[in-house]
Amino acid sequence: MYTLPKIERFNQDVLSKYHIYNSVFITLPFDSIDNTGVLLPLFTETCETGFKKQETPKEIFDFFSNKFLNNASETEKIDLMFRFIQYIERQIVLFDAIEDAAFPEVNNMEGRGSLRDIKERTDAKEKDEELIEFLENFNVRTVLTAHPTQFYPGPVLGIINDLTAAIRLNDLFKIKQLLAQLGKTPFIQNEKPNPYDEAVSLIWYLENVFYETSGEIVHYLQKNILNGNAIQNQLIKLGFWPGGDRDGNPFVTTEITLKVADRLRTSILKCYYVEMRNLKRKLTFSGVDTLVAELEHKLYRSVFYSKGEIYITLDELLTQLNKIRDIIIEKHQSLYLDELEAFLLKINLFGFHFATLDIRQNSKIHNIVFKDVVDYYLNSKSNVFPKNYFELTEDQK
């Protein structure tokens, strides 16, 4: 059986499913005006017709209200418009979840540009050594930036994640439950998010997407291209703007920067704790189980009982895990070694910081600080700067 073209796969796995699940969504009763979902398609059709006739937004809505709303007051009309917006916001989330769920079907995950494709083309051209040399000198730096319009509240992110999983399984009952939950969960917070809130929203992606994905990429390369040898190069680096970008957000303070840095550390330790807990269920061998339990306990205290301090250092964690690794190889036939090495790889990738907090400042502030530094040296009779430094041209400076 031949593979359908990409556009047909998209129509089948994304567009068709969206129409099906959207028809379920718009019939769910969320509010006192329980026909909002029914009126929305009619309003859409009215807008399309009015737009073709080059009517103004007011003319379009007046036509719609005269035809479909019986003697509605101005307040009721405005209220309905807001409810339309609420529905549309959630339809966008639904579409995103369906698109995410169908991504492996719509896109060729093993095609050109994939890790498997790179390996196979390298093998075919017998350029393994060149690829290894390239990997030892290459890294990609992914920077997570902050933009208020891109943020969903934490509960909404959780629903999106669960909805994507349910759509993959075609679990209609679960999907309907999640759509109902989505309809009743507020998208807009009562207060404008501060820089720390923005950082917490983005850290969700670090924990739930980048932690696993980055580890899987590097693990695949080490296992299949470097024959199990470690890449002596930090192949993937993560940058993080929220909480450090004072140029883009004047509300970022030193306190917030430190608070975000602490949250990043706590988040990566939490990821390590969860992974350590999962390994504990597998590494139950004599001579290993006690070492694993000790690490799990220290990570647990560092995450859930810490008030800024940690109960284990990075070196201690790596040393103990490598000790466990040696015991597994020597005494336990390398059972679960692959999972342990994947964990070690993540620790080498993320350390105890998870992502580099990028500190950016407004250039005017830099100029003030630099002037203070120069003034200090000029007043101290130092020869570092000439007395007429501020009178020099830019090139002379």
pLDDT of 101 > 70? The answer is: yes
Identify the pLDDT of residue 55: 94
Contact 219, 346 (CB under 8 A): no
Contact 141, 210 (CB under 8 A): no
pLDDT tens-place string over residues 112-149? 888 889 889 999 998 989 998 898 899 999 999 876 55
Instruction: Point out which residues pair with 237 in neighbouring strands.
Output: 141
Identify the pLDDT of residue 89: 87
Helix (H, G, I), strand (E, B) or coil at 89: helix
Residue 31: band (very low, low, confident or very high) from pLDDT cuts 50, 70, 90: low
Residue spans of the domains in the chain: they are: 1-107+152-192, 362-397
- H/E segment holding residue 164: helix 154-168
Q: b vs e for 342-366, b when ≥16 Cβ sit within 10 Å of the residue's Cβ?
A: bbbbbbebbebebbebeeeeeeeee
Residue closest to 210 by CA, chosen among 355, 62, 340, 317: 355
pLDDT of 32 > 70? The answer is: no
The percent of the chain in helix, strand and coil, each rounded to the nearest 5, is 65, 5, 30
Integer angstrom CA distances of residue 163 from 18, 171, 172, 211: 12, 10, 10, 21
Q: What does the pLDDT average to over 338-346?
A: 94
Sign of the four-CA dihedral 369, 371, 376, 377? positive
pLDDT of 188 > 70? The answer is: yes
Identify the pLDDT of residue 33: 47
Residue 372: band (very low, low, confident or very high) from pLDDT cuts 50, 70, 90: very high
Residue 341: band (very low, low, confident or very high) from pLDDT cuts 50, 70, 90: very high
- Whole-number percent of the chain with pLDDT over 90: 49
Identify the pLDDT of residue 344: 95
Residue closest to 240 by CA, chosen among 271, 207, 275, 216: 207
pLDDT tens-place string over residues 250-306? 788 889 999 999 999 999 999 999 999 999 999 999 999 999 999 999 999 999 987
Burial environment of residue 264 by CB neighbours within 10 A (0 to 12, 13 to 18, 19 or more): buried
**pTM assigned to the model:** 0.79
Identify the pLDDT of residue 19: 92
Give the residue, 181 or 38, on which the prediction is more confident: 181
DSSP tag of 245: B
- Whole-number percent of the chain with pLDDT over 70: 96
Instruction: Point out which residues pair with 143 in neighbouring strands.
Output: 239
pLDDT of 249 > 50? The answer is: yes
Helix (H, G, I), strand (E, B) or coil at 188: coil
Instruction: Point out which residues pair with 148 in neighbouring strands.
Output: none
State the chain's maximal CA–CA distance in angstroms: 84
Q: Rounded CA gap, 253 and 59, in Å?
A: 48
